[in-house]
Amino acid sequence: MTVNQRVAGSSPASPLIERNSVVSYVEDLGTTATFKQASLLELTDDLIIFPNPAYEEISIQSKDLMISYVIYSIDGKVVSSSEVDSVKQVKANVSALPQGYYLLSVQTNQGLITKPFVKN
């Protein structure tokens, strides 16, 4: 079986193919199956951090315009921060951070969103 095949008994909206932040999936509606495509942001949360775990840099994508971001160590210390120009996608260099768990807080025009990520 390939990665792109659906596993029997999986959830009704199981991802099949992931390409350039677009997901193709099959949605089961009783006896009818519908093929759909959507961006990851349409299917998930308001904020996506990838890759996670990260090595050199993380990409941060938001549905809303980002104003700034702050990266906190697990003990709450600010390890990095940046102002951004009202964009929906930005990259952050995390290569200097030691391995561990971090929290990314992003201030958008709609409020504050905080998500964890791992640095390897």
Coil, strand, or helix at residue 107?
Answer: strand
Q: What does the DSSP assignment read for 42-97?
A: HHS-SEEEESSSBSSEEEEEEEEEEEEEEEEETTS-EEEEEEEEEEEEEEEE-TTS
Q: Give pTM, 2 decimals.
A: 0.65
Residue range 45-119, CATH number: 2.60.40.3080
pLDDT, tens digit, 9 for 90 and up, residues 23-65: 444 555 555 555 555 554 444 568 999 999 999 999 999 989 9
Distance, CA of 113 to CA of 23 (rounded, Å): 23
pLDDT tens, position by position, 61-118: 998 999 999 999 999 999 999 999 899 999 999 999 999 999 999 999 999 999 999 9
Report domain extents, the chain.
10-44, 45-119
- State the residue for tokens 């697990």: 74
